Amino acid sequence: MPPHRRIDADGHPTVAELENSIRTNQLWSTGLLAVERKASHDVIGYCGLVDSGRGAAGEPELAFELLRRVWCQGYATEASLAVLEWARSSGYERLWATVWDWNTASRRVLAKVGFTETERKEVDAAYGTTLFTTRRL
């Protein structure tokens, strides 16, 4: 957890403060959204847009992570397609997604929703290679 996201010594932000900020701030065009199943209404992970600054300016990254017990049922693909629609309607023209080269499932999801790999890569001796993928909207 990066320091700027931690709860401070006085307990802020409180749950009520976070809730209020989510309810009143209509201007967000990026952020991670809860993925909720339509039939069972359970939250199974997140999917959304992150202003990581790793792509180009004004072009956020798609990010997703789901609970292991729901993997391989198409949920990440479905959630990503919904987020792409949100990004398009917010006026973005291009998105990025970064993924470890060994993350086969994530690479497959990105390919299925239309991301293509670029020339750009970052090699980390300990973890592997980060691939930069992109998609026009």
Contacts to ligand COA by CB under 6 A: 64-66, 71-77, 99, 103-106, 108-109
Least gap, CB of 131 to ligand COA (angstroms): 9
Nearer to ligand COA (CB atom), residue 84 or residue 99: 99
Least gap, CB of 17 to ligand COA (angstroms): 28
With CB atoms as reference, the residue minimizing the distance to ligand COA is 76
β-strand partners of 64: 47
Least gap, CB of 106 to ligand COA (angstroms): 4
